[in-house]
Chain A
C-alpha cells in the first residue's frame, strides 16, 4: 500500500542554519504531496503542498519540490528561526480525505 517515509528526528539546529528534512513516498498512482506542521499543544497546519510532478510548494520560507523520478518531497528552508521549532509531517493523498502521514520529524532550533 501507499506509504511515506521521513527522516527520524530530532533535528537540532542553530538559528539561521539551513534545514533539510527528507521525505520519500510509495504510491500506486499520482498522489498529491503535503507538508504539515504541528506546534506544541496544537493540531496540524498545512505548510505547503504540490499536486503534480515538478511542482514546487512554498510557504513562510519553506520549500519542497515534487520529484517523481526519486519519489521524494524533501522540505528545505534556507535560514531557520527559533519559532520554526515544531514537528513536521510529510503526507500524501490519493483519495478523498485520506491522508497518509510519515512518522513526523521534530525540529529544535536554538538561538
Chain B
C-alpha cells in the first residue's frame, strides 16, 4: 500500500508569487491535514479536510488556502509569498480523522521563498 505522497519535493519561489502543493493520501483515507514546519515556530497545524470539506483551520492568514477533491487528494495554495513562508509543508492522512486514528505523514514539500 503506497504511503502519503507529496509533490513536489522541493520548490523555490520568489516573494509575491503563489504556489500550489499537492498531497495524495493513502488509498481509502478520506481525511487530509496540513502542517507547516519551521525552525522558529516548529510544527503548526494549517487545516484539515474530510470529504471535500474543511473541518478545522489553524491560525494562518487567508493567503493560505486548501481544497480536497472527490478522490481525497488535497492541494494547498499560498498566494503572495513572503520570506517567512519558507518551510517544510507536511501532509497527513487518516481514514476518517477520528481522535484515536493513526495519522500517516508524507515526506513533505520543502518550500524556499527568495
Encode contact with A along B91-114: 1 for CB under 8 Å, 0 otherwise.
010100111101101111000000
Which residues on the A side are within 8 Å of B103 (C-beta)?
A: 46, 97, 99
Closest chain B CB from A97 CB (angstroms): 4
Let me know if B24 is at the binding interface, CB within 8 A.
no
Binding stretch for chain B, among A17-25, A57-65, A70-78, A101-109: A101-109
| A104 in contact with B43 (CB, 8 Å) | yes
Which residues on the A side are within 8 Å of B50 (C-beta)?
A: 96-97
Closest chain B CB from A34 CB (angstroms): 9
Contact among B48, B94, B105 for A43, CB-based, below 8 A: B105
| A42 in contact with B107 (CB, 8 Å) | yes
Let me know if B56 is at the binding interface, CB within 8 A.
yes
Let me know if B55 is at the binding interface, CB within 8 A.
yes
Q: 3 tightest A-B contacts by CB?
A: A43-B105, A101-B43, A103-B42
27 A-B pairs in the complex with CB atoms less than 8 angstroms apart:
A32-B99, A36-B105, A41-B107, A42-B107, A43-B4, A43-B90, A43-B108, A44-B92, A44-B105, A46-B103, A93-B99, A94-B99, A95-B56, A96-B31, A96-B48, A96-B56, A96-B97, A96-B99, A97-B33, A97-B50, A97-B55, A97-B94, A98-B48, A99-B35, A100-B45, A101-B43, A104-B42
